[in-house]
Amino acid sequence: MLSSVSKEYLKTIYVLKKQNGEIRVTDIANKMNCSKPNVTKQLNILSTNELISYETYGKIKLTIKGENEAKKILAANDIIYILLSDVIGVPSDIASHDASLIKGVISDKTLNSISNYIYETLELNKLNCNFNIKNESCRACISKRKEKK
């Protein structure tokens, strides 16, 4: 099981891949505001868990397993964010911060229950994007739906 720190690194690697295509230690260090040795330590952990492939001074690549895990981490963050901001009305900046903290400590079963509740309460099945928990644009779709009301 990955620590919350390792999950944050994996999420950052996934986001950087989406933004830049290529990922290097320096990119991660800059994005996470940490030292290169800290990045290297986490890369070794992620590599041991077969979530990335990485050679010293080389490019960092997500494995299929790593990409799926990163998507799961992002989906968890989005589900908690939606609960906090759209269901109970927590201001966006606070909801974003708190979602990052909460997602690291709740079980998958609780997260799935929250996801089912969100899906039914906000009628996400009626959105044009055919929302599902792995859809990376769910926040944008929620916002569009709220604007139409």
Secondary structure of residue 134 in the 3-state scheme: coil
**Residue 39: which CATH number?**
1.10.10.10
User: Which of 5, 72, 77, 63 lies closest to 34, judged by CA?
Assistant: 5
Q: Which residues is 61 bridged to in the sheet?
A: 53
Q: What proportions of the chain, in percent to the nearest 5, are helix, strand and coil?
A: 70, 5, 30
When pLDDT is cut at 50, 70 and 90, the band that residue 108 belongs to is confident
- By CB atoms closer than 10 A (0-12, 13-18, 19+), residue 9 is buried
What is the count of structural domains for the chain? 2
Q: What is the pLDDT of residue 60?
A: 92
Whether 38 and 86 map to the same domain: the answer is no
**Would you say residue 40 lies in a domain?**
yes
**Residue 79: which CATH number?**
1.10.60
- Asked whether the predicted pLDDT for residue 12 surpasses 60, the reply is yes
How confident is the model over 38-55, as a mean pLDDT?
Answer: 93
Q: Which residue has the tokens 């996934």?
A: 14
**Which pLDDT tens digit goes with each residue over 58-100?**
889 999 999 999 988 888 888 888 889 888 889 989 998 898 8
**Which pLDDT tens digit goes with each residue over 61-71?**
999 999 999 98
- Asked whether the predicted pLDDT for residue 131 surpasses 60, the reply is no
pTM of the complete model beyond 0.75: no
Q: What is the pLDDT of residue 78?
A: 84
What is the chain's mean pLDDT, rounded? 82
Please report the DSSP string for 48-105 in residue order: HTTSEEE-TTS-EEE-HHHHHHHHHHHHHHHHHHHIIIIIS---HHHHHHHHHHHHTT
- Are 53 and 61 contacting, i.e. CB atoms less than 8 angstroms apart? yes
**Would you say residue 45 lies in a domain?**
yes
By residue range, what is the domain housing residue 10? 4-62
**Would you say residue 67 lies in a domain?**
no
When pLDDT is cut at 50, 70 and 90, the band that residue 118 belongs to is confident
Q: Which residues is 52 bridged to in the sheet?
A: 62
